Amino acid sequence: MESANGHIYEVLRRWWGFTTFRSTQEEIIRAVLDGRDTLALMPTGGGKSLTYQVPTMARDGLCIVVTPLIALMKDQVDRLRRLGIRATAIHSGLSTRQIDIALDNCVYGDVKFLYVAPERLATEAFRLRVVRMNVSLIAVDEAHCISQWGYDFRPSYLRIAELRERLPGVPVLALTASATQPVAEDIMRHLKFPEPHIVRSSFARPNLSYSVRRTDDKEGQLLRLLHNVPGSGIVYTRTRDGAEQLAEFLRTEGVPAAAYHGGLGHAERALRQEEWLAGKVRVMAATNAFGMGIDKPDVRFVVHYTMCDSLENYYQEAGRAGRDGKRAYALLLVASDDEGRIVRRFEQEFPPLDRIKEIYERICSYLQIGIGEGGENAYLFNLSDFCAREHLYPGSVQSALKLLQQNGYMTLTDAQDNPARVMFCVSRDELYKLRVKRDDLDHFIRTLLRLYNGVFSDFRPIDEGELATWSGYSVERVKELLKQLWQLRVIRYIPSNRSPILFMNEERLPRADLYIAPETYRRRQELMRERFERMLAYAANEEECRSTVLERYFGSETPTPCGICDVCLARKRAARAAEHASDAAPQPAEAAPKKESDLDLRNTVLRRLAASPADPRELAAGCSCTPERLARVVRELLEEGKIVGDKGGILKIIP
């Protein structure tokens, strides 16, 4: 290990051209090389990927990187390959043959990085191959997904513990930008760390000025920022229509702007992204589909036109501004009716359990999956088409899909490039009776059957280029023959396209057997409500440094005020005004009695609640301070997780 530890700087310089590490990168890398399981809490843009890439390049063996983001997976593989480093990925968008080739290369070739979607860990092909690989490290990206209490729980992540059993002695590096202390502890428990080990980077962004503007004229506030802050930026909004309308409004105001969301085609999204990266478009009006994996250090502002669901999402999205270290701005716009919208959105996030079961059945019927069928299969799924056909509200369907995913039944991926898919409409016996008279079709069918198994029972991914090679036809001719067989009703054929894929984690169950634990459902409701309330409290806060609020939320015990957020700047202005006023005012004969300090007040509140729960009025009766100061201290204790309030407003200590 000593030699590997000794030349990590050489590795960093040779492959990435850097001479120094950032923040806690070196500490994490040395822990990994010492074989110690590590949970790294690093903010967005903190250089997470180098913490597993450098140690992997410093020694023999490959690194398995588990990540749920297929777009990010492809981006990382492309970057490594451009550096001359062999990397590959397996996910539900690949054909069976492509996955087999990738896994064999990891066993027999010199692949250094294997990126894998979590649902692939359970497949037989992966389980059989992985034990024959020379694995030196397991890196778990977006590790909060393994925690049932994380904001984006994915049951497929629980398979990583099984992977550890197949690879004894291989260390794990878990990475996340958004884990509170309870979630961090849950991550280490699920990943079977022999002992807790957390390396926490600072979540402070000293160059990023956070601000909140309460206004019903969001367009006017946005234009004021654009006129006062030069450079490019992102404006996040919740819906696709909202992104398009906002981009159109900015263009009419003379601001070069484009919209980005999941409803655009791949080519269109890539073009708009490139124009923004190149500076041809100043503002990208986008849903949260935009930003992941995009490396643009000189983003000068990120505006949230609509409020996020959680501080985790807000911090991650706002953190895309100012990665070059220069002053940047994160502005949250809040209208008078936003809180009501968030409450309604929360209610939509948790449709009744019977409604979830109904949507599950309708999805399976839409995809023509029979009871007992479909386990570990992937299907193209057009959410808009499904909702239109079934006359369902998309928000309810998305919420049901999320809960079905969290309970391990099905997973809907982001839009991605998908291979062509084929399934025979006739049985094997019927096919031989058809007597296809044309020799080219007959030869083509034989080639298709020779290359791909299972095409009589399910849609199977095919590679049109591979079919061309083995049949002797051109790719264009292969596509023509596939369409002809489709027209003859011999096969069902889905050409290669860009669409989300729905992965069935297990076979379709009868409605009566579909179980979503009520206690888990209620607990997730409580956690979601708490996150909404923390987001609302952040927006309502006018007394505490915004950076301090965020740092404390992510576990920092000693956050320091940033001095540049709207709250800090307002405090500075008030102090200057008070100083000028005191200079002008006559001095009193005697100093006023000293008031109870905030620290004393906090201790008073905690002692009172340690004795028994109480409502705010009971607390106020025992405290010699103004209601405003008491409210501020109570809000701080709630944000720090030291106390909690129930629906009736009763406050109590969190044990």
Q: Given the structure tokens 């056909």, which residue do they identify?
A: 389
Given this model, what pLDDT does residue 414 score? 64
Given pLDDT bands bounded at 50, 70 and 90, which one contains residue 597?
low
Given this model, what pLDDT does residue 263 score? 75
The third-level CATH classification (topology) of the domain covering 208-336 is Rossmann fold (3.40.50)
The arrangement of secondary structure in 597-655, i.e. its CATH architecture, is Orthogonal Bundle (1.10)
**Strands of the 420-424 sheet, one edge to the other:** 460-462, 420-424, 491-494
Least confident of 128-132, 211-215, 246-250, 555-559: 555-559
Average pLDDT over residues 43-60: 89
Given pLDDT bands bounded at 50, 70 and 90, which one contains residue 460?
confident
Residues 6+ apart with CB under 8 A from 151: 144, 178, 309, 310, 312, 313, 527, 531
Q: How far apart are CA 332 and CA 266, in angstroms?
A: 29
Given pLDDT bands bounded at 50, 70 and 90, which one contains residue 556?
confident
Q: In this predicted model, what pLDDT tens digit does every residue of 256-306 receive, in sequence order?
A: 999 998 777 767 887 898 899 999 999 999 998 787 667 788 999 999 999
Average pLDDT over residues 335-342: 80
| pLDDT higher than threshold 80 for residue 94 | no
| pLDDT higher than threshold 80 for residue 539 | yes
Q: How far apart are the first and last CA of the chain?
A: 42
CA distances to 363, 371, 504, 513, 515 from 510, in Å? 13, 6, 14, 5, 10
| pLDDT higher than threshold 90 for residue 44 | no
- In a 3-state reduction of DSSP, which class is residue 332? strand
Greatest pairwise CA separation for the chain in angstroms: 112
Nearest Cα to Cα of residue 185 among 155, 139, 144: 144
| pLDDT higher than threshold 70 for residue 438 | no
Average pLDDT over residues 496-510: 81
- Highest mean pLDDT pick, 298-312, 461-475, 640-654: 298-312
| More confidently predicted of 499 and 322 | 322
Q: How far apart are CA 302 and CA 275, in angstroms?
A: 18
Average pLDDT over residues 22-34: 92
Given this model, what pLDDT does residue 292 score? 67
Average pLDDT over residues 44-65: 91
Average pLDDT over residues 193-218: 92
| pLDDT higher than threshold 80 for residue 582 | no
Q: Do domains 208-336 and 420-495 have the same CATH topology?
A: no
What CATH number was assigned to the domain covering residues 2-200? Answer: 3.40.50.300
Average pLDDT over residues 85-111: 86
| pLDDT higher than threshold 90 for residue 253 | yes
User: Which CATH class name applies to 343-417+501-519?
Assistant: mainly alpha
User: How many helices (DSSP H) and strands (DSSP E) are in the chain?
Assistant: 27, 23
Given this model, what pLDDT does residue 585 score? 59
The answer to whether the beta carbons of residues 320 and 349 sit under 8 Å apart is no
**Number of residues written out for the chain:** 655
Q: In this predicted model, what pLDDT tens digit does every residue of 140-197 receive, in sequence order?
A: 998 988 886 666 677 778 889 889 999 999 999 999 887 778 889 999 999 999 999 9
Given this model, what pLDDT does residue 595 score? 42
Over pLDDT 70: what percentage of the chain? 91
Given this model, what pLDDT does residue 594 score? 39
| pLDDT higher than threshold 60 for residue 640 | yes
Average pLDDT over residues 392-409: 82
| pLDDT higher than threshold 50 for residue 364 | yes
CA distances to 344, 428, 443, 448 from 439, in Å? 62, 18, 6, 14
Given this model, what pLDDT does residue 88 score? 95
Judge: domain 420-495, CATH 1.10.10.
Answer: yes
Q: How far apart are CA 334 and CA 539, in angstroms?
A: 7
Given this model, what pLDDT does residue 648 score? 65
| pLDDT higher than threshold 70 for residue 2 | no
The answer to whether the beta carbons of residues 187 and 143 sit under 8 Å apart is yes
| pLDDT higher than threshold 70 for residue 591 | no
- In a 3-state reduction of DSSP, which class is residue 384? helix
- Highest mean pLDDT pick, 27-36, 286-295, 309-318: 27-36
Rg from Cα positions in the chain: 28
Given pLDDT bands bounded at 50, 70 and 90, which one contains residue 593?
very low
Least confident of 2-6, 102-106, 576-580, 601-605: 2-6
Residues 6+ apart with CB under 8 A from 303: 222, 225, 233, 234, 235, 236, 330, 331, 332, 333
Q: How far apart are CA 605 and CA 652, in angstroms?
A: 10
Average pLDDT over residues 293-320: 89
Give the chain's mean pLDDT. Answer: 85
Given this model, what pLDDT does residue 266 score? 67
| pLDDT higher than threshold 60 for residue 587 | no
Structure tokens belonging to residue 146: 């393994």
The answer to whether the beta carbons of residues 404 and 410 sit under 8 Å apart is yes
Sort 124 into a burial class: Cβ within 10 Å, 0-12 / 13-18 / 19+.
Answer: exposed
| pLDDT higher than threshold 90 for residue 32 | yes
The answer to whether the beta carbons of residues 167 and 129 sit under 8 Å apart is no
Given pLDDT bands bounded at 50, 70 and 90, which one contains residue 93?
low
Q: How far is CA 231 from its chain centroid?
A: 26
Task: Report domain extents, the chain.
Answer: 2-200, 208-336, 343-417+501-519, 420-495, 597-655
